[in-house]
Structures are given as structure tokens and as C-alpha cells.
Chain A
Amino acid sequence: MKPASRPVTLRSARFRAEREADWEKLEKILKRAEGGGPGRLTTTEMMELPRLYRAAISSLSVARATSLDKNLEVYLEALCARAYFFVYGSRTTLWERLSRFFLEDWPNAVQESGRAMLFAALCLFGGAAIAFVLFIQDPETFWLFRAGGFDMRTPEASTSYLRSTLYRDPGDVDINTMLTSFASQLFTHNAGIAILAFALGIAFGIPTVALLVFNGLFIGSFYALFWSRGLGDELTGWLFIHGVTELWAVVMAGAAGFVIATSVAFPGDRTRLAAARHAGHKATTLIMGAIVMLFVAALLEGFGRETINSDLIRYLIAGGTLVLWSLYFYAPRGGRR
């Protein structure tokens, strides 16, 4: 006995027919958006995107509950995921991002990482102090920490030569020297060290300690060499006109490494993964800040030091940068915090 012939209609097929146009629209907008920059989308399309995305998400939920068309479900899932990635892609404008970084994120991260900063500073200046003391006892130790093979500023050099390296004959200075010095300082040496100090934090911070101490040793023995020739005051001006900023940046980069290291070594209540992630945000902020400071330091070194030969002005600039950075990082801020 055959049942009466019924019309073939499917609620899920109707559902699809009703919504299909919206899905296709979303797909088209996404394709265009990913093909070019967001500038290619019209304002209407930008406004419609979130609505279409939410509609697709709700379609997916309905389809999961009521439709057995596998292709439809797979399609909606892919469409939603793609739209989701776009809607929740990085979105803030560069300007917003930058102003938030300088006004909030960076100073906050510095204030919150006091202990890591202190420890990094201890490594760097401790290394310097050790090398200094060693040199005073035995100048031969200088050779232990010497970095470059071509640097003539060694215990074998005459005092007058050492003095001459601290000042520039105004006739020698031109924009080329300044630019070359600026670029080579920043882009080959310092930023590399800073990034390394940060990235090595993942290995429980041990390589970061080594990197900081070694840099300290180098500075310390260098300082002792000039100091032993009665050039201590002059070197201080030469070094700290940019060194306040530069060493601060190196300490900050090291601190970023330690922030990561502590989170990995002592994750506390969180899993190691979650702890590393949480610390990662703070550490990246610190490292970005360190790179900004290194940029300033390279400017001071390349242009300031090459043109300013007066010890007094060098000291003033060094002191000025110290005060300004301290105020920027640690001065109490109005408003929330």
C-alpha cells in the first residue's frame, strides 16, 4: 500500500534559499577585502560586514541543528571562519596603536617590571664593575673582554691617542660620518643585542644574563683603560651623552628577557603556556620601547657626539636625558592607573 504522494519540500533547502544571497555577498566582500587593502571596500560594505558575519554565524548554528546537508555545513563553517579571521583581524589604526603605546603601555610595562629591570641593571653594571676592578689590578685582563680585533683603543695605545678618540676635529665632521655612525650603531649592533637579550629569555634567561654581563665587562674594562690614563671624566661625557639612553635600553631589553624567563620558570597558578603568553605581551612592549630608545641613542651618538666637543654640554645632555626618561617612566600620571 503506497502512501499518498507528498510534495518534496525541505525546510533546510528553503532555509538555504532564503539566506544564500547574504552568504554570497559576504563571500564576495571578503574576497575583495583580502585581495586589496581595506581602502578598496566602500563604507557601506564595511558597515555591512559585521552584520553579514553575524548572520552567517547564526546560519551556521541553525544549519548544525536542522540541516543534514554536509556540504552546506562545511561551507558555512569555512565561510564563518574566514569572515571571523577578517572581522577579528588586527584592526586598530597605526595612530591609535602608537599613541596607546607611548601614553600607556610602555610606561606601565616599565613600572610593572621593576624587579626585572633592577636585575638586568645589576648584571650589566655588575659586569662593568668586575671588569673595572680587574683592570685596575691587572691591565692585562683588558684582553679577556676585548670584542673587536681592529679597535686601536687598547692598553698599548698612547694617552694622547686615546684622548683624540674622544673628540672630533670640527674639520673632520660631515654628514656622512654622522650618518654612517648612526646607521652602523643602530642597525647592526645595538638593536641586535636588544632583540637577542629578549629572545634568549625563553631559555630561562641564562643566555640573557650572559649577554648582559659580557656587555658590562666590555664597558667596564674600556672605562678602566681611560680612567687609568686620567681620562675618566672625559670618557664619561663621551660615553653617557648617548649612553644613558642606550644602556637604559639594553637594561630594558634584558628585563624583557627576564620577564619571559620568570614566567616560564615559575608559571604560578597558570600553565607554562598561559604564563609565557601573558608575560609575552609585557615583554614585547618593553622590547619595542627598547628599540625606540636605541633609535634616540643612535641619534645622540651619531649627530650629538660627533658635533659636540664640550664636556659640559655632553654632561648636560646626559643629565637631561636621565631626568627626562625618569620622568617619562616613573612620574605619577594623572587620570586612571
Chain B
Amino acid sequence: MSEARASPADHARRTARARGPFARELETPEGTSLTIRIASAGERSGAFLIDFIILIVMMYLGSWLFRLIFQGAGDAERIGYALFLLYIFVVRNFYFILFESGRRAATPGKRLLGTRVAMRDGTRLTANAVLARNLVREVEVFLPVYFFGALIASRTMGGGETAGIVAVLGVVWTGVFLLFPLFNRDRLRLGDLIAGTWVVHNPKPVLAAEMVQERADDPFAFTPAELNAYGIHELQVLEDILRQPQSDIRAAVAARIRKKIGRKHVEGESDEAFLRGYYAALRRHLEGGLALGKAKRHKFDG
């Protein structure tokens, strides 16, 4: 009564569900689906905060540098001012665009948090998309900041009733844009929506050692009945336990398995060796089933 083997796509969907609310499926042009994790709102704003601080430092350093070079230089002072305006324009508008259209598709802030920009439909990230998502940032982020500044100014300096009301309305209106990512599943901001992009984790592949050593004989020689006691789920839980550093939990697990399959603890047999032996045998048994089109998902299955 084993389930028929699921297609790879089903498989990815299952694992995506299993890996929590931030896991998404992405289909590559080769037709294989990959599970990726989208960045949370906290990671997004954290990355932006880092970039914002870098921007402010760059602007501050720029103004200091231009003043150092051009101050008191007579006519050249105005050239310096013009160059400074140019510098501010370039820094503010191209910081995000240049970094995101690069190889890593990430600003320094995003890199620090291990995220990057990608197309939602899995196609190649285009320069246009990067441009679009960053131009819209002007409205989403800098406009609320501007209105907020205006609000504070009207409170402290008394810019009159209307100025205050306009500023409040401005903050509310643009605040909707700023908080937009919180109201959709994929944490898209408006720029992402227009550009067709999202921000995802750049996965870090870590390959642990192979758990099964080839050997000429199997000292445990588990019977098929003993191996039928568990399914894939239990196998992978056992894998997790064995990959963790040594702990008391192994003795408990070994005892449970022995009890379940009805095996006595042989004198001198270490729990570690028993678990590894059982893991190897169980994996072989279950993988053999897979090859025949039978997947025993868990211990209650078939």
C-alpha cells in the first residue's frame, strides 16, 4: 500500500511546505524546481538600514572632502559645489542600482545579511528590473522620510496649520507604501512588484561527510522485518541525530530502536556503532524500495 512515487515537482512542493512560511519554490529554466527562502521583513529592513548608514557616511565624507579641496579657492568653490551636487546625485541614485546589477545582485547591506535580489519567475535578473525596483524606492522610502521631516519641522518651527496637516497626510499616505511589504506573503515592496523581483536568501551549501562507509561485511545483518519497522521520516531523524555531536540522546534512541525491532543489546556493542549500522541498513533498504517505486514515508506507511 505504498504511495506511488511523487514527481520531483511534488517533492519540492512538499519540502517547501515542510520548511516553513519563508520557503518558496523556484523553477529553473531547466525545469527543476529549487527550494529557496525569501528574506523576512526584518532582514529586509536591516539590510536597508545598513545601506542607509553607508550612504549617509558616504555623503558626509563627500561633503567634508569637497570642502577640504575647494573651500577658499575663490571661483573654484562653485565648481566644487557643482561637483558635490553631482556626487550626491550619483551616490543616492546609483548606489543600489550598481550593486544590485553586479554579480552578487546585492548591496553591501544585503550581502551582510546573506540575501540577494532575484526574479520571481526564475528568469535572468535584468538591468531594467534592478532599475525599476530602485527608482520606486524614491517614493517608498525617501518620500516618507521627507514628509516625516516636514512633520517634525512644522511641529518644532511652527510652519502653520496647513503645513502640519499636509505633513500628517503625507506621512500617512506614504507610510502605506513603506509598510506595504508587511501586507503580502512574499514581502514584496512596491518596487519589487513593478520590477517582478523579490529578495531571497543566498543559500550556503554545506556538504557533511557521507554517513555510510563501504565495508565488506555487515556485522549486524538486520532482517527485512527489522528494517520494515521504520520509514523515510524516521531515517532522516536518525540522520540528524547522528550528525549532531555526541550526546546522551543516542543511548535513548538506540534503546528505543532495539525495543521496537526486538533486538537484545549485545555485550560490548556501542550505541553509536549500532545506530550507524542500523542507519546504513535502513537507508539501503528504503532506497531499494525507492528504486522499485515504493516510498515508505514513515513507520505507519505500508
Interface residues of A (CB under 8 A from B): 2-13, 16-17, 20, 23-24, 27, 33-34, 37-38, 54, 57, 60-61, 64-72, 75-82, 84-86, 88-92, 97, 174-177, 179-180, 182-184, 186-188, 191, 195-196, 198-200, 202, 260, 273, 276-277, 279-281, 283-285, 287-288
| B127 and A68 contact, CB distance less than 8 A | no
Complex contacts, A260 vs chain B, CB 8 Å:
194
New contact pairs (8) apart from A68-B235, A84-B34, CB-CB < 8 Å:
A69-B211, A75-B208, A89-B105, A180-B82, A277-B193, A280-B194, A283-B194, A284-B135
Given the known interface contacts A89-B103, A187-B89, A199-B138, the answer about A8 and B194 at a Cβ–Cβ threshold of 8 Å is no
User: How distant is B192 from chain A, measured CB to nearest CB, in Å?
Assistant: 9
B32 and A195 contacting across the interface, CB-CB below 8 Å: no
Give complex CA distance A208, B105 in Å. Answer: 30
Nearest A residue to B213 via CB reads A8
**Chain B interface residue count, Cβ-Cβ cutoff 8 angstroms:** 85
**Known contacts being A12-B287, A180-B81, is A3 close to B207, with CB within 8 Å?**
no
The count of A-to-B residue pairs whose CB atoms sit within 8 angstroms is: 221
> Top 4 A-B pairs ranked by shortest CB distance?
A78-B203, A187-B89, A183-B82, A280-B194
B253 interfacial by beta-carbon distance below 8 Å: no
Q: Are B116 and A276 in contact (CB under 8 A)?
A: no
Residues of A within 8 A of B286 (CB): 68
How long is the Cα–Cα vector from A253 to B180 in the complex, in angstroms?
24
Which one, B118, B139, B195, contacts A277 given CB within 8 A? B195
Between B135, B193, B236, the greatest number of chain A beta carbons within 10 A of the residue's beta carbon is seen for B135
Which B residue sits closest to A273, measured CB to CB? Answer: B193
A88-B124 contact in complex given A3-B223, A10-B280, C-beta closer than 8 Å: yes
CA distance A277 to B195 in the complex (A): 6
27 A/B residue pairs, CB under 8 Å, sorted by A: A5-B219, A6-B217, A7-B214, A8-B213, A8-B280, A13-B212, A24-B207, A34-B104, A61-B32, A65-B5, A69-B211, A77-B35, A78-B203, A79-B203, A85-B105, A85-B202, A88-B124, A90-B101, A92-B127, A175-B79, A176-B75, A183-B82, A186-B89, A187-B89, A199-B138, A199-B139, A280-B194
* Cβ–Cβ contact B205 & A75, under 8 A: yes
User: Within the complex, what minimum Cβ distance (angstroms) separates B66 from chain A?
Assistant: 12
Q: Which residues of B contact A85 (CB under 8 A)?
A: 105, 116, 118, 202
B128 in complex: contacting residue of A5, A24, A285, CB < 8 Å = A285
- State the B residues within 8 Å of A (CB): 5, 8, 11, 26, 28-30, 32, 34-36, 75-76, 78-79, 81-83, 85-86, 88-89, 93, 101-105, 116, 118, 122-132, 135-136, 138-140, 177, 190, 193-196, 202-208, 210-219, 221, 223, 232, 235-236, 239-240, 243, 280-281, 283-284, 286-287, 290-291
With A70-B236, A202-B136 already in contact, the answer to whether A184 and B103 are too (CB < 8 A) is no
In the bound assembly, the distance between CA atoms of A53 and B299 in angstroms comes to 36
Q: Which residue of A lies closest to B235 (CB)?
A: A68
Contact A75 B290 (CB under 8 A): no
CA distance A9 to B36 in the complex (A): 32
Complex CA gap A2/B64 in Å reads 83
Question: Would you call A184 and B85 a contact (CB within 8 A)?
Answer: yes
CB distance from B73 to the nearest CB of A (A): 11
In the bound assembly, the distance between CA atoms of A20 and B210 in angstroms comes to: 11
B32 and A276 contacting across the interface, CB-CB below 8 Å = no
The minimal Cβ–Cβ distance linking A306 to chain B, given in whole angstroms, is 13
Given A7-B215, A78-B204, answer yes or no on A65-B194 (Cβ-Cβ < 8 Å): no
B206 contact set on A, CB distance < 8 A = 75, 78
Given contacts A89-B103, A182-B82, A202-B190, contact A5 B218 (CB under 8 A): yes
